[in-house]
Amino acid sequence: MPRLLPLTLVALLTLLALPARTTTAQEREPSRESVLRIETGMHTAVIRRIGVDRTGKFLVTVSDDKAARVWEFATGALSKPGR
């Protein structure tokens, strides 16, 4: 039974050290390949952040689909670029 404690401790320390050696997505160079995307007019994943500008005219949402969208606050319509 006394040998079990050191083995458990070694296993625990090994598991704790593993994530430190892995490469995160931010450390890798982004892909240079083009990606075809379908414009759905809405988010296709969970919305993580919502913000409103000072005038209350626009609402901005950011999602896990890697898109930030600007909406007209009064109508709820997706704002068109250059507007």
- Residue 37 has a pLDDT of 77
- Residue at 73 is within a domain: yes
Domain that holds residue 52: 45-83
- Residue at 68 is within a domain: yes
- Residue at 60 is within a domain: yes
Cβ neighbours of residue 59 under 8 Å, at least 6 residues apart? Answer: 50, 51, 52, 53, 70, 71, 72, 73
Split into its structural domains, the chain has a count of 1
- Is the distance from CB of 37 to CB of 45 less than 8 angstroms? no
Tens of pLDDT, residue by residue, the chain (83 residues): 455 566 677 776 676 666 555 566 667 787 788 878 788 888 999 999 999 999 999 999 999 988 899 999 999 999 887 65
- Residue 22 has a pLDDT of 58
